[in-house]
Amino acid sequence: MGAFDINRVLNFEPEFLTDLDAEHEHDKTVSSVSVKFEGELMVGKLEQWINQLVEVKGADLFRYKGVMAVKGMQKKFIFQGVGMLYSDEYCFEWGEGETRECRFVFIGRNLNKKELVDGVMAARIDENFKLRFQVGDKVMARVGNGWEEGVIIKHWDDGDPYRVSFTSSERESGYGADDDSCIRAVGANLDSDDGDSSEEKDGDDDAGPANKRVRTN
């Protein structure tokens, strides 16, 4: 993986979109897809989708990079990947008066533009977005391969839509997505397994291999 030039990504210079590896530059199946919108996104939702995307399409993804505004974070979220390998980090504060926006570019073979655009846009948080649970609500939260009862104690904590305090202990965890893969209402069916259950951020060591990005206090 080459050096990540943040200025080129932030400016989205033309060569960033067209600088393909030499062996691919005459391949008609190789193209780029870009996504840009003003506003913020739910980073856990994006990562869920990226995890699924690279498992299926990783061999055809030569490069993908992005600079994004994450709900609940003051720093820019920088994302880069090659094939099935990727990394991310928060760096550089959004400037005063600077428009918070999200930009993502994919370069690869036989890209499905609609699928890629829809995948990024699904993580977007628009003005009508509302979280399913409120602070003080009791919920069932995914912990490893099981579920524990807890209470929502905070919204948008370090980019996570929910922070949960567990009823049976003094432990707290952040959850990066607002869907049934990680947070369900008390009394909901817990036998079905909907989607990637990777969003518990402060999990114990037995949280399981699906727990791909861990944040500890």
pLDDT (tens digit, 9 = 90+) per residue, 28-76? Answer: 889 999 999 999 999 999 999 999 999 999 999 999 999 999 999 999 9
Structural domain includes residue 143? yes
Same domain assignment for residues 94 and 56: yes
Same domain assignment for residues 18 and 76: yes
Instruction: Please give the torsion angle defined by the CA atoms of residues 60, 66, 72 and 74, in that order, rounded to the nearest 10 degrees.
Output: 160
Boundary of a domain, candidates 125, 153, 171: 125
Structural domain includes residue 217? no
Same domain assignment for residues 89 and 67: yes
Stronger pLDDT, 159 or 25, i.e. the higher one: 159
Per-residue pLDDT, averaged over 107-117, amounts to 95
Same domain assignment for residues 121 and 180: no
The reported pLDDT for the residue numbered 136 is 98
Structural domain includes residue 1? no
For the chain, what is the HEC assignment? CCCCCHHHHHHCCHHHHHCCCHHHCCCCCEEEEEEEEECEECHHHHHHHHHHHHHHHHHHEEEEEEEECECCCCEEEEEEEECCEEEEEEEEECCCCCCCEEEEEEEEECCCHHHHHHHHHCCEECCCCCCCCCCCCEEEEEECCEEEEEEEEEEEECCEEEEEEECCCCCEEEECCCCCCCEEECCCCCCCCCCCCCCECCCCHHHCCCCCCCCCC
Same domain assignment for residues 101 and 154: no
Same domain assignment for residues 14 and 110: yes
Same domain assignment for residues 48 and 80: yes
Say what percent of the chain tops pLDDT 90. Answer: 65
pLDDT band at residue 117 under the 50/70/90 scheme = very high
155-185 burial, b if ≥16 CB within 10 A, otherwise e?
A: bbbbbbbbbbeeeeeeebbbbbbbbbbbbbe
Structural domain includes residue 96? yes
Same domain assignment for residues 150 and 121: no
Structural domain includes residue 57? yes
- Over 90: is that where the pLDDT of 161 sits? yes
Token pair listed for 153: 């104690």
Token pair listed for 172: 């707290």
Domain that holds residue 201: 138-207
Same domain assignment for residues 167 and 110: no
The reported pLDDT for the residue numbered 62 is 92
Same domain assignment for residues 40 and 17: yes
Q: What is the average pLDDT score of the chain? A: 82
Same domain assignment for residues 40 and 71: yes
Provide the number of structural domains found in the chain.
2
Q: Residue 75's domain is classified under what CATH number?
A: 3.30.1220.10
Structural domain includes residue 118? yes
Structural domain includes residue 213? no
Stronger pLDDT, 205 or 33, i.e. the higher one: 33
Same domain assignment for residues 53 and 107: yes
Structural domain includes residue 133? no
- Over 60: is that where the pLDDT of 115 sits? yes
